[in-house]
Chains A and B, each alone.
Chain A
Amino acid sequence: MGERTEKLIERFKLEFERVGGVFIRVKKDQILPILNQTLKVENADKIFVEKFDDELSNILKQLNVKQIITQAHSEKQLAKVDASVTGCDYLIAETGTIVFIHDEKRFKSSILLPRVHIVIARSEQVYESLEHVFEKIDKKFDSIFLVTGPSRTADIEKVIVKGVHGPQMVYLILI
């Protein structure tokens, strides 16, 4: 891993944690135990898992929860799960932002409806800034969703409360 990438990951971690995200860096063979532990801590019985590559999909099938949904039929179904496990397209080091390109493989509601959102990313997805990501992407995208930490509000006496309409907790698991 290049020194530059390491620096970007460090910065991402700092910013992501500053906005209230939980950053976990793992080797591929540790994904299953780490995820199991996280889901247990969060009391998540029913989860949604997005489509990943075959290797990762096979690992995720073995998660120790009551119910795994991989094909969501409706948003109502997604509203009932405790946690979602999804991939992402880019990470932005400067602001701790996770970039999702909203296309055929992704439910935007799976990012917003569950109480807990777990994102699995690879270290080559980290970019320095949004400028770099905009340069990289095809401008003909359908939609983009930028997520920086959990859902939050300060509407009641400026007290910060997490998990208003979106997730209360956002985990980023970096392979």
Chain B
Amino acid sequence: MKETYTPLKFKENALRFIQDEKRRANLNKAIYHTLSKRTEVVSELPDWEILRQRAHDIRKEAIENIWHYIEIFEKKASENGIKVIYASDAIEARNQVLEIAKRINAKLCVKSKSMVSEEIGLREFLEENGIETVETDLGEFIVQLAGEMPSHITAPAMHKSRDEIGKLFNEKLGVEFTSVPEELTKIARGFLRDKFLNADIGISGANFLVAETGSIVIVENEGNAGLSTTLPKIHIAIAGIEKIIPRLSDLTVFFKVLGRSATAQRFTSYVSIINSPRRKKPDSPEEIYLILLDNGRSQMLKSEKLKEALYCIKCGACMLACPVYQTVGGHSYGWVYPGPIGSILASAQLGLEKATPLPFASSLCGKCHEICPVKIEIHHTLVWLRHQAVELKKTSRMEKLLFKLWLSAMKDARIYKAGAKLLRFLKKIGIKPSLKAWSRTREFPQIAEKSFREIWEKELKN
């Protein structure tokens, strides 16, 4: 994890991004494109709302009975020859990967896309320990070359233009400059093909873990996850404990909503449902490890309010739909999961102390909930988190005082009238109340010459 990367710098980061018109234009173009495509593929399904409800119900069933299903999963997967390891936090998970790597004297790892590995800073950790670790998803590869963090969970390089990527490849890979996406992709294919064929370990995430069959399920478009989990001798999959689903048939519901929500596709190009290591298969890893990561999740399970955020299937739709994300971009949030759902996850995993600005980085419009394929009530949870932040005394004294005044005025008509009169008087003699923090980016409401009550009494009543 990069040192400077913290939610506490949200305001500074957001301001910087807002002023960078080129970046904003890149981001907005990409967002608009995906959202309009998504509308098209969602509206084809007349029973979309039923599907969403079904997806919600399955996720609820899984999370409410999570330990039960994990037990079944562990039993099945172990029977099939997959080694299941439990990691309580990032340090444990990283060390377990390193231990396996050291045991086989691994020099090169290929990685397919995994947000959980970003969460625990796995790639940096392995590199620090002298193991070359290469991102193979094109977007992640670009972000790795640039030394940045992903700005969106399914489209990590969406903030970059083709020219920037061309320059980056030219500098880092020593190839001739081109800004043609087809050419750039070909360059990456050639470079990474070599890595795939020589890697000792393939590292992946998991989109779902199926309890019934003990399967690790990985959804993707490029084929890099398929290769990362087939070519190297060892496959290590890392998944948050919440990835569990009860039955194989549940997948049919999630495939329908996930592809549409994440990348506006009817069905993603590739799905690997992995039940076992090599056995009779002619190609496949000899060993498969699955690291089940807790990292704050079991704490979330204990909170009625936060539990629901674990239903998330990491599609990233709430980010695209969020007017705040659209304006400030993914990097501003300072946490691996940006946007509305990320604000909940950061508050839960880092603690509100370290994520205070995030629950406030929302207009509470509810678009995130409307678009969420598993119907998480993100906006309600954000309001609740704001309340927690106030309880933690994370708001200024001035803000509290103003809200107290406002509350007493709203409760008592006499105070309200007197207050309004005072404001009108102040306006007459030329004093405007100064509330810079509020009015810097908003129009301050004008105070009318006469109140409605006065107009009613004198002019309208009769």
Contact partner of B273 (CB less than 8 A), chosen from A75, A144, A161, A164, is A144
B223 touches A164 (CB 8 A): yes
List residues of B (61-81) whose CB comes within 8 Å of A's CBs: none
Q: Would you give the 0/1 interface string for A150-175, flagging 1 where the beta carbon is closer than 8 Å to chain B?
A: 11111111110101111100000000
B230 touches A109 (CB 8 A): yes
A155 touches B223 (CB 8 A): no
A164 touches B193 (CB 8 A): no
A142 touches B275 (CB 8 A): yes
Contact partner of B185 (CB less than 8 A), chosen from A134, A146, A149, A161, is A161
Measured between C-beta atoms, what is the minimum distance from A17 to chain B in Å? 13
Secondary structure type dominating chain A contacts? loop
**Given A106-B281, A134-B252, A157-B29, CB of A147 within 8 Å of CB of B224:** no
Q: List residues of chain A with CB within 8 A of the CB of B270.
A: 145-148, 151, 166
Q: List residues of chain B with CB within 8 A of the CB of A113.
A: 227
B136 close to chain A: CB less than 8 A: yes
Q: List residues of chain B with CB within 8 A of the CB of A142.
A: 275-276, 279-281, 284
Question: How many Cβ-Cβ contacts under 8 Å join chain A to chain B?
Answer: 169
**Given A108-B230, A142-B279, A143-B276, CB of A158 within 8 Å of CB of B29:** yes
Measured between C-beta atoms, what is the minimum distance from B172 to chain A in Å? 15
User: What's the Cα separation between A5 and B142 when bound, in Å?
Assistant: 45
Q: List residues of chain B with CB within 8 A of the CB of A165.
A: 136, 189, 192-193, 196, 222-224, 226-227
B263 close to chain A: CB less than 8 A: yes
Please count how many residues in chain B sit with their CB below 8 Å of the partner chain's CB atoms. 61
A76 close to chain B: CB less than 8 A: yes
User: What's the Cα separation between A155 and B251 when bound, in Å?
Assistant: 25
Q: Would you give the 0/1 interface string for B281-305, flagging 1 where the beta carbon is closer than 8 Å to chain A?
A: 1111000000000000000000000
User: What's the Cα separation between A111 and B284 when bound, in Å?
Assistant: 13
Q: List residues of chain A with CB within 8 A of the CB of B221.
A: 151-154, 164
Chain B residue with Cβ nearest A72: B282
A54 close to chain B: CB less than 8 A: no
A95 close to chain B: CB less than 8 A: yes
Chain A residue with Cβ nearest B272: A145
B26 touches A108 (CB 8 A): no
B181 close to chain A: CB less than 8 A: yes
User: What's the Cα separation between A149 and B157 when bound, in Å?
Assistant: 23
Binds B, one of A82-90, A97-105, A119-127: A97-105
User: What's the Cα separation between A111 and B182 when bound, in Å?
Assistant: 21
User: What's the Cα separation between A167 and B34 when bound, in Å?
Assistant: 24
User: What's the Cα separation between A135 and B255 when bound, in Å?
Assistant: 16
Q: List residues of chain A with CB within 8 A of the CB of B273.
A: 141, 143-146
User: What's the Cα separation between A112 and B230 when bound, in Å?
Assistant: 10
User: What's the Cα separation between A109 and B284 when bound, in Å?
Assistant: 9
A29 close to chain B: CB less than 8 A: no
Chain A residue with Cβ nearest B228: A165
User: What's the Cα separation between A135 and B283 when bound, in Å?
Assistant: 26
Other A-B contacts than A152-B269, A157-B162, 7 sampled, CB-CB below 8 A, are: A18-B266, A19-B266, A112-B226, A142-B279, A164-B185, A164-B223, A165-B227
What are 12 of the A-B contact pairs (CB < 8 Å)?
A75-B230, A79-B193, A95-B266, A142-B284, A143-B275, A145-B273, A152-B221, A154-B155, A155-B155, A165-B136, A166-B270, A167-B223
Interface residues of B (CB under 8 A from A): 26, 29-30, 33-34, 136-139, 142, 155-158, 160-162, 165, 181-182, 184-185, 188-189, 192-193, 196-197, 212-213, 221-224, 226-227, 230-231, 248-249, 251-252, 255, 263, 266-276, 279-284
